[in-house]
Amino acid sequence: MITLWGGQTSRSIRVAWVLEEMGLPYHVRQVDMLAAERDPEFLAINPADYIPAIQDGDVVMVESIAIMEYLIARYGPTPLAPAPHDSNFAAYQQFLHLGEAGLATLMMPVVVSRFLAPESDRENWGAGWCLQAVRKRLKLVSQRLASSPYLAGDAFTAADISVTFALNLGLRNCGITLGDVEQDYLARTTGRDAYKRAMERSA
């Protein structure tokens, strides 16, 4: 049984979503990242103190995209990942990693500045630069969705799981606005039964 450490509004939803799409058994251990003291069992799994993390037998992993790739490789094949010879493989790889490296990671200075920084530091230069960079990178998503329903073409993949999390994070916490095409895309991805189950399990 795979143990997933995390919570509903964190990057762990990416992992839960993959697990649900693949029909893999797992259970969720909630981690309150705002608690004064962290669960010592969690810190034994990830002493760096961030989520998500998984334990799969003797395997312990952190980093949501790496975990997704591990699950797909270890328990696939799955439609969540096109084969390397597939014409959509390059787009899949690009957007799988853009969702974190190009979007969600850049959103974090904005999130912590807006919600955790002292009032005088909330509109800081670094957070403003990151927000502008996010808006530029979102043009890649918009361009792709103008020609295909999903980021790797006609089929839903883990790249959509990666980017959907980032778009929701931006909408919820960074004041990002999306056009009709992007909103329709989010309705398609978050309308999936596996997403709904992942949200329920992670609550």
DSSP, collapsed to helix, strand or coil, labels residue 126 as helix
For residues 157-177, average pLDDT:
97
Characterize 16-43 residue by residue with b for buried, 16 or more Cβ atoms within 10 angstroms of its Cβ, and e for exposed. bbbbbbbeeebebbebeeeeeeeeeebe
For residue 103, give the nearest of 176, 8, 33 by alpha carbon: 176
Give the number of other Cβ atoms within 10 Å of residue 132's Cβ. 11
- Residues 167, 186 contacting (CB under 8 angstroms): yes
Cα–Cα distance, 185 to 187 (Å, whole number): 5
User: What own/partner pairs with CB < 8 Å and gap ≥ 24 does 80-85 have?
Assistant: 80/18, 80/21, 80/22, 80/156, 80/157, 80/158, 80/161, 81/157, 81/158, 82/152, 82/153, 82/155, 82/157
Cα–Cα distance, 188 to 77 (Å, whole number): 23
Cα–Cα distance, 97 to 45 (Å, whole number): 24
Give per-residue pLDDT as tens, 15-68: 999 999 999 999 999 999 888 888 999 999 999 999 999 999 999 999 999 999
For residues 160-180, average pLDDT:
96
Give the number of other Cβ atoms within 10 Å of residue 168's Cβ. 17
For residues 187-200, average pLDDT:
97
Cα–Cα distance, 198 to 19 (Å, whole number): 8
What ranges do the domains of the chain cover?
A: 2-80, 89-194
**What is the separation, in whole angstroms, between the first and last Cα of the chain?**
19
> What is the DSSP-derived secondary structure letter of residue 148?
-
Q: What are 28's strand-pairing partners?
A: 4
Topology agreement, domain 2-80 and domain 89-194: no
Q: Class assignment of domain 2-80?
A: alpha beta
Lowest mean pLDDT among 74-78, 117-121, 131-135, 173-177: 117-121
Q: What is the pLDDT of residue 122?
A: 85
Percentage helix, strand, coil, to 5, in the chain?
60, 10, 35
89-194 fold: Glutathione S-transferase Yfyf (Class Pi); Chain A, domain 2 (1.20.1050)
Q: What is the pLDDT of residue 117?
A: 82
Give the tokens for residue 103. 């979007």
Cα–Cα distance, 67 to 53 (Å, whole number): 8
